[in-house]
């Protein structure tokens, strides 16, 4: 059984990844690293794992931990994994990075979107962008994966069929709403309960970092530059992301045609659900019905009056938006069924 190490396991994403890896039937969790929580039982930080996992966090050298494992996941703050991975990459182990350090292909993009000079630009093209629905074949043959950002995942997967079909005019506007867990576990005034509760707070009207990923991936689909603008809001929920994207199109498709486009595009993608039920209460994707699962729900509507297609995406930001997607990539890298260890349905009600 292959061994797995998690570097940076004390955050929300690290906790979800620890849960999923520990319960995975085909791999064994060897160690979870956390410098700040070293020596503490994992369940003291992630209480949902009490009675399930009897392990402590370690602060043993990340490089030695990684190079003695078959697969290493990195759940570190932006700018940190790129300082460690170059040394580890020499050993040719499988690396799955959940941070942003290897998502973008252009070195200059890191200065623009993240404010740092990338220390290992020679590795950027060795990492496959870890979105199985777009890059399944490349993931199957690589040893290095960069897991997408959560908002980027929702936006890209809801828009990809439209862009691939050439229905857009090259300009897309994305409106994103994210729960409080998207801010991570480190408290601040903005995440303090009195300030965070009951809000619909636009915190990044322009220039959100995940915009770079959306531009990169949609442009690859069309083999031309796609212009993307995104605004991000904090909303009153713990988990979940919903993106509502507006696509102006010179040739407005019918709803029937869009159904065909989406079904064809996501044939063979076990975690994509197309949601458009005009007779139910839950007519379009809603993150509430993805919580705890690796599903992403996508949907659409057509505005004939203004020649606009609206694409909707919804997911659990900690699962399909991060840890679950990482495990899905691991499964593909190892030649397993990509849904292995990820078959739990969403929780309801939440």
The residues assigned a catalytic role are 150
Burial grade of 263 (CB within 10 A; 0-12, 13-18, 19 or more): exposed
Which are the contacts of 114, defined by CB distance < 8 A and separation ≥ 6? 78, 79, 100, 209
CA-based radius of gyration for the chain: 20
Scanning the chain, the segments in alpha helix (DSSP H) are: 12-23, 42-45, 62-67, 81-89, 107-113, 132-141, 150-164, 193-196, 210-222, 255-265, 324-333
Of 84, 63, 77, 73, which Cα lies nearest the Cα of 32?
A: 73
DSSP character at residue 256: H
Please tell me the distance from the alpha carbon of residue 243 to that of residue 226, in angstroms, as a whole number: 17
């Amino acid at each position: 059984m292959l061994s797995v190490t998690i570097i940076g396991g004390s955050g929300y994403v690290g906790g979800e990844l620890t849960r999923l890896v520990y319960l995975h039937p085909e791999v064994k969790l060897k160690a979870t690293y956390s410098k700040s929580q070293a020596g503490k039982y994992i369940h003291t930080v992630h209480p949902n794992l009490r009675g399930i996992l009897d392990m402590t966090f370690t602060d043993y050298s990340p490089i030695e931990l990684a190079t003695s494992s078959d697969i290493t996941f990195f759940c570190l703050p932006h700018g940190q994994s790129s300082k460690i991975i170059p040394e580890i990459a020499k050993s040719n182990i499988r690396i799955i990075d959940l941070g942003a350090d290897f998502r973008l292909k252009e070195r200059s993009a890191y200065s623009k979107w993240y404010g740092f000079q990338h220390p290992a630009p020679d590795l950027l093209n060795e990492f496959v962008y870890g979105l199985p629905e777009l890059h399944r074949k490349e993931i199957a043959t690589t040893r290095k994966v960069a897991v997408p950002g959560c908002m980027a995942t929702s936006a890209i997967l809801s828009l990809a069929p439209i862009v691939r079909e050439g229905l857009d005019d090259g300009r897309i506007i994305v409106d994103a709403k994210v729960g409080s867990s998207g801010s991570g576990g480190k408290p601040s005034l903005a995440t303090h309960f009195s300030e965070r509760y009951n809000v619909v707070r636009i915190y990044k009207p322009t220039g959100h970092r995940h915009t770079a990923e959306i531009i990169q991936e949609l442009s690859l689909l069309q083999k031309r530059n796609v212009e993307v603008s995104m605004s991000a809001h904090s909303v009153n929920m713990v988990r979940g992301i919903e993106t509502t994207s507006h696509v102006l199109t010179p040739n407005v498709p019918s709803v029937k045609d869009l159904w065909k486009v989406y079904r064809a595009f996501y044939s063979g993608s076990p975690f994509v659900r197309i949601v458009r039920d005009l007779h139910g209460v839950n007519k379009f994707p809603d993150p509430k019905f993805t919580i705890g699962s690796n599903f992403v729900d996508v949907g659409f509507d057509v505005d004939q009056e203004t020649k606009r297609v609206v694409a909707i995406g919804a997911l659990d930001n900690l699962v399909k938006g991060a840890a679950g997607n990482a495990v899905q990539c691991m499964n593909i890298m190892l030649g397993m069924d990509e849904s292995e260890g990820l078959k739990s349905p969403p929780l309801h009600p939440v």
